[in-house]
Amino acid sequence: MLVLLPRLLLILALLSVAVHCAVAETQLRVAGDLYTQVNSEGSQVPPVVENDLALTQLSNLLAEENVGEALQLATRVVSLDPDNAIARRMLGYQLVPGPDGTEHWCGGYAALMYERGNLWHEEFGWIKAGDRDRWEAGERPWGKKWITPTEDGEHHATIARGWTVRTDHFHVTTNHSREAAVDLATRLETLHQIWRQQFGEFDVSARELQARLDGKQPTGYRRKPFKVIYHRTRDQYNAALLRRQPQIAKTLGIYFDRERETHFFAGEDQDPGTIYHEAVHQFFFESRKANKNFARLANAWATEGVACYFESLARGERNGDSSMYTLGGAEAGRLPAARHRRLVDNYYVPLEELSSLGMLELQRRKDLPRLYSQSAGLATFFMEYEGGKYRPAFRELLAAIYAGRDEPTTLEAATGVSFETLDEQYREFLALTKSLQQKTNHEEHKDHKVGID
Ligand SMILES: [Zn+2]
């Protein structure tokens, strides 16, 4: 392990790079792997720093139980130095030979698939390595026979007989096409990497990460993957789910926590932000044991707000570096709507009142769409204000909510700041993001869509 240290620490210079802009927006990276296929070749390689410093920084973050930032650091290391074994191991990767002998950094499920003679194909997902040419020539396996793509489509025309694509964290079923399932699964793997860097403590403990730092090889996959059902069309989605959710036609995606599955549809009406939103509900609920009555009596806004915050996820590609993403941008997701409501319409439900609303009370409000954009704005504020000074408190609030031990005043207690002061700081924060705007007269009011769950 010691010989690898210099490479790890080369990265530590990145630690000194501010990743949070002064007003809003977090810049994060995604580690290149089988699914994400990003490369960071355009990145500037930082100067080498002392090895001890980097390790100390990782250890310090873990001692503070700051799992998210430790994962951010490990991800930044990997994006600069893709073969850094320590950082890879912290993120759950192992180095495994593929069927052609080349080695890949991958999670435990992928390792198992390689062991069984499969390869990951960027269009078709996991296929038998020896069948690659037939797949690429347009043949599809069906039992012991080979059939045409048209015949394959007929066999998988209904969702009950759909194709399934499995990755290290997701299991996607679709009757659209295998390619669509691969595309969705890889988008979700990317989102999961990003989410984990902001709320990593929901995914892995500081103690486990310290063990990985000390040499433990993690399994790096979910034995029970997140279940995702991807309907071929919007109409099929509506028809399949109407009985479970009478208002399904008003939704663009949904998460059912009892069944532990998200549902989306392909086609023109698909909204990528909604996919992020519902998947984030799924991550929070399923990543560690959650109280099934979470947010029943208070703080429902925070669970919706944080899901809305991830709607702002955008590629931050620059200089050929495709590993960069941004969250919480001034013009992204529902922030423009939140800003307009607060600063122009003077619409605002004070935090003390908002925090006292449980899920049913929130969903019954006549001003629900505006409350969603306000919740998005508040979540962005708590994640981004003054370089993230309230981020630990907001994480604490969400942990309390999902554990079922929150109170209407948990946020005040966690921040150590009164609701009234937070209300005022939120307004100031929005005013600051306004000054970043280019198109002051063309604010998009993206608060018309509302997740029902
Ligand atoms: Zn929602």
Each as own residue / partner, the long-range contacts of residues 412-420 (CB below 8 Å, 24 or more positions apart, any chain) are: 415/390, 419/350, 419/351, 419/352, 419/355, 420/350, 420/352
Q: 453 C-alpha to center of ligand 1: Å?
A: 5
Q: 158 C-alpha to center of ligand 1: Å?
A: 27
Q: 278 C-alpha to center of ligand 1: Å?
A: 6
Taking the chain (453 residues) in runs of 10, the rounded mean pLDDT of each run is 41 42 76 87 50 76 94 89 89 92 94 96 97 97 96 97 98 98 98 97 96 93 97 97 96 96 96 97 94 95 98 84 90 95 97 98 96 98 95 97 97 98 97 69 45 45
Residue with tokens 């969603």: 372
Cα–Cα separations (whole angstroms), residue 151 to 138, 147, 148, 157, 229: 11, 6, 5, 10, 22
- The half-sphere exposure of 127 on its side-chain side, counting CA atoms within 13 A, is 21
Q: 71 C-alpha to center of ligand 1: Å?
A: 26
Q: 180 C-alpha to center of ligand 1: Å?
A: 24
pTM of the model: 0.91
For ligand 1, an ion, list residues with CB under 5 A: 304, 307, 451
- Residue 428 CA to residue 296 CA, distance in Å, equals 30
Q: How far apart are the first and last CA of the chain?
A: 47
Looking at residue 5, its pLDDT comes to 43
Q: 452 C-alpha to center of ligand 1: Å?
A: 6
- Residue 313 CA to residue 418 CA, distance in Å, equals 30
Looking at residue 99, its pLDDT comes to 86
Q: Where are the alpha helices (DSSP H) in 257-367?
A: 272-287, 300-309, 335-339, 351-355, 359-363
Q: 306 C-alpha to center of ligand 1: Å?
A: 9
Q: 269 C-alpha to center of ligand 1: Å?
A: 18
Q: 93 C-alpha to center of ligand 1: Å?
A: 31
CA-wise closest residue to 73 among 54, 99, 92: 54
Joined together, the tokens standing for residue 53 give 């410093």
Task: Map residue 192 onto helix, strand or coil.
Answer: helix
Looking at residue 25, its pLDDT comes to 83
C-alpha R_g of the chain: 22
* 136 contact partners, CB below 8 Å, separation of at least 6: none
Q: 304 C-alpha to center of ligand 1: Å?
A: 5
Task: Map residue 123 onto helix, strand or coil.
Answer: coil
Q: 24 C-alpha to center of ligand 1: Å?
A: 22
Looking at residue 76, its pLDDT comes to 87
- Residue boundaries of the structural domains of the chain: 2-96, 330-453
Q: 282 C-alpha to center of ligand 1: Å?
A: 10
Looking at residue 160, its pLDDT comes to 97
